[in-house]
Structure 1
């Protein structure tokens, strides 16, 4: 080392010398840096530009217990194994979405140290993304620009919280023209919620230059705030060069009862579906269209049916689905939806016609028609009536049109009358936590299945839903079901033990959910956790 420092007292070495630093110390520092670079196989280069600081997030931090819970949930997100026998431990992987939704409901932000794990979880599971990115806040975008593994945050919608519509029009225009796709979708959504016309005018400025897939997503974002003033733009979009964009525009127009397209579809549909008043009682007569002309195709009717479908029935279904439901009451001499649905349909067209009306009720969010098409859930033959063989109707979607409390009552009565075999998807659209009558019906049906000696794994899907959706307050009432019962004659071997484990896991999960809910409650001193360490 002494040899290397020779001459430094007489002349400055060719290295950078900091103020107050001697020439010898500067030379040794430069040698140390060079050694590190050589060992790292890197050539000397100027330092890169430091990233801008992360944006501030003024929301309160999670309470300490909730922070520890999030760390546990993220550490366990790989699941508890793929064995057929799950044991009695709660499945934390399935509780993470519910926990994230609850945390977002309180307006918390995620701890900085857990943001990478949170983004990794959102990358692995698309169902977590909206809630996970909302909890991560504006720093999710900042981190995504630094790590290619998180680019989904930059290109996807439903990410970080929507930006507020800026007061400065130039600022809005710049963000719209230069922002990332996620930022543009969020901006359009925010503007539409504030003023639908303002958001539409912004979209029109760049519509002709957008990619087809982006036009489709922008168009779909209009659905939430669809207004009559959107009709001229949507009518023009019926001539879009993308078939998917044209179909979405037609669907949106058909959801506007007063639109010109809705009127055109009503005329077409009513020309093919009419009451035969000469019959006693009245009968619905159907004469399916014989061609799909250019006007029908422009209005969104797909000319080519899927495999196994006849052309005429395929065209008829699309016409009826797009026609305003209110027009049928006038067509059938003032009958209400229930009376129209009860009319017989000639020539085996009943299933096709009712399926199309079901899709129309979902599209137009018409609760009166949905109620009529669902009928009484407890009727003895109702299961076959609401979904006859060959039907394409989706009862779960139809149920979403009803108010949440009515939906829960309908499903509870359906389960009480027909059991759980056809109720899984219906349960999935009921509000969480399940209302008490619905929860009681599910538990009663599971208990009946156990007493009948049914295979417990046949109900694993419903049991998993119950773990996530039952009211945690029901845990104490379910304790009696955790005991191992005698297996009835003909039962599958060991089913009693399986059922006992399943109910123990259900009770344990409900109690854990209650604990997690309490952990998320704001501390007594107030919700602001920004000073917490």
Structure 2
């Protein structure tokens, strides 16, 4: 309706150039209203196309400090720029790794693009800022959009009061590593002011570096208004060796589990483990997260209680309390009729306390599928178990093997992975193929080239050939850096 009324007495739009003499002269013309409107509109359009006079600035910008590190070479700079334009996150992260490893910084013309990326990054924001060098620090002080970026990098304590949630998480995580007691003191003074979601996030960050010094603070949180915060506090208390709750779990297990000798073939004696049903748990333990009723059909409640308790007690401590060894204990437990019910809880204990004897025993059981069981083993010992995860959970295996240093995979394992992908090429994403290329040993690329030269043209083979060709291209890009 407004468009239809333009130029009439019913509607006249506001004109931003009303203070211009020429607009006043047009308004004073003796022509009709439509003519004056069209002349005014045309004049306003010309002014908009011509732009505006710049605002007067009465101060000078501070100069950029000289760079203390050498700028990156043209080759890696070009590769970083290409990965940013293509939004190839895998290659960008690798190129950044190589840049940081070389001790150089980005060329200044590329810094604004990387600073924009840092705004949307979480844990690696500091690394991105560091790669930008002095130019990055300088620009962050000038551009309000980037102004919050360096605060976390400097470890400014004000970030806890003024930063975003991600920045505060980064700050607390860093403080927890350098000053565990300081992190607890910070939360003691400020946690009550946070909403339930933030309280949960910050308490969860305390899982690294747990010690008895954290017990008083966590004990207070067991009465928090948020059920999830309470549950998290109980879970943290359970896994602190020597805490009151952890000790209560240990004592309960020593009553429920009994190792005794029995006659065997009327001649010899052997030790057996029994889960006793005549030693009920104290009611207070059920308030700490222990479920009263068994979830497993045909499994007695008291067995299910024992299984839950074992997930939180160090196998070495439990074995000593029962007068046996950790190896004997896991053998006893896996020999139980309810071993299937016990299994996930035994796995949690083995992973949580990195018990090598338990991890070894559980890795020989097909039901144990948690790849973190490998953490307790040496690298040479892990390789014997990679095959089972390759066939059952390749994505999980690759996620476990891919590290921040881009360590090459063992040649045999790399060959096995390629053989698997030839048969099941759709089981991983394109990004995983790209990341795999960065971890393949040089000798493994000959196998990829052989696949590319394969004359078969079925859909499955053609798809893998496409991925293999891209992996070969990535290898060539990497060689340009070298």
Same fold, TM-score > 0.5, yes or no: yes
Contact 1:361–1:369 (8 Å) recurs in 2:
yes
Residues 457-478 of structure 1 deviation map (CA, whole Å, 9 limit, x = unaligned)? 357787555324223x335543
TM-aligned CA deviation for residue 205 of structure 1: 1.5
Which of 57, 62, 77 lines up with 1:67 in the alignment?
Answer: 77
SS for the counterpart of 2:391 is: coil
Structure 1 residue 334 corresponds to structure 2 residue 330: no
- Which of 91, 94, 97 is the aligned partner of 1:95? 91
- The one of 162, 168, 178 equivalent to 1:194 is 178
| Alpha carbons of structure 1 residues 515 and 311: separation in structure 2 relative to 1, 3 Å | farther
Partner of 2:202: 218
Report if the CA contact (8 A) 2:319-2:326 is conserved.
Answer: yes
Q: Distance in 1 between matches of 2:393 and 2:474?
A: 25
Unmatched 5+ residue regions in structure 2?
A: 1-19, 23-42, 265-269
Quick one: which of 343, 362, 375 aligns to 1:400?
Answer: 375
Query: Partner residue of 1:12?
Result: none
- Give how far 1:326 is off: 2.0
Give the secondary structure class of the aligned counterpart of 1:322: coil
Match of 2:212 in 1: 228
> CA, structure 1 residues 108+436, in 2 after alignment: closer, same or farther (shift >3 Å)?
closer
1:360 to 342, 345, 349: 349
Larger Rg: 2
Find 1:513's aligned residue among 444, 462, 478: 478
Q: Is the 8 A contact 2:222 2:234 kept in 1?
A: yes
The reply to whether residue 285 of structure 1 matches residue 274 of structure 2 is yes
Provide structure 1 residue ranges, at least 5 long, that are not aligned to the other structure: 6-33, 78-91, 166-171, 376-384, 388-392, 519-533
Q: Give SS of 2:274's match.
A: strand
2:447 aligned residue? 478
After superposition, the C-alpha distances for 1:174-201 in whole angstroms (9 at most, x for unaligned) are: 5544454444434433433333223322
Q: Contact conserved, 1:123 with 1:129, CA < 8 A, in 2?
A: yes
State the match for 1:386 in structure 2.
Answer: 366
> Using the alignment, how far apart are the partners of 1:329 and 1:307 within structure 2?
26
Distance 1:215 1:514, change over 3 A: farther
Task: Provide the TM-score with structure 2 as the length reference.
Answer: 0.70
Which residue matches 1:275?
259
Do 2:200 and 2:228's aligned partners in 1 also have CA atoms closer than 8 Å? Answer: yes
Cα deviation, residue 482, structure 1: 3.6
Q: Secondary structure at the match of 2:182?
A: helix
Q: TM-score, normalised by structure 1?
A: 0.64
More displaced 10-residue stretch of structure 1: 280-289 or 184-193: 280-289
Query: 347-356 or 505-514, which moves further after superposition?
Result: 505-514
Distance 1:455 1:128 in 2: 33
Number of the residue aligned with 1:372: 361
Deviation at 1:272, TM superposition (A): 3.5
Distance 1:347 1:197, change over 3 A: closer
| 1:531 matched residue in structure 2 | none
Structural mapping, 1:75-474, within 5 Å: 75-77=85-87, 92-106=88-102, 108-111=104-107, 113-115=109-111, 117-118=113-114, 132=128, 135=131, 142=140, 146-147=144-145, 162-164=153-155, 172=157, 174-275=158-259, 277-278=261-262, 280=264, 281-286=270-275, 295-301=284-290, 312=301, 315-337=305-327, 339-343=328-332, 345=334, 348-375=337-364, 385-387=365-367, 393-403=368-378, 405-406=379-380, 409-410=381-382, 412-415=383-386, 420-432=391-403, 438-444=410-416, 446-447=418-419, 450=422, 454-458=423-427, 463=433, 466-471=436-441, 473-474=442-443
1:418: Cα distance to partner? 8.2
Q: CA RMSD in A?
A: 4.9
C-alpha distance 320-69 of structure 1, shift in aligned 2 (>3 A): same
User: Using a 3 Å threshold, how does the CA distance of structure 1 residues 293 and 123 change in structure 2: closer, same or farther?
Assistant: farther
Cα gap change, 1:54 to 1:211, in 2 (>3 Å): farther
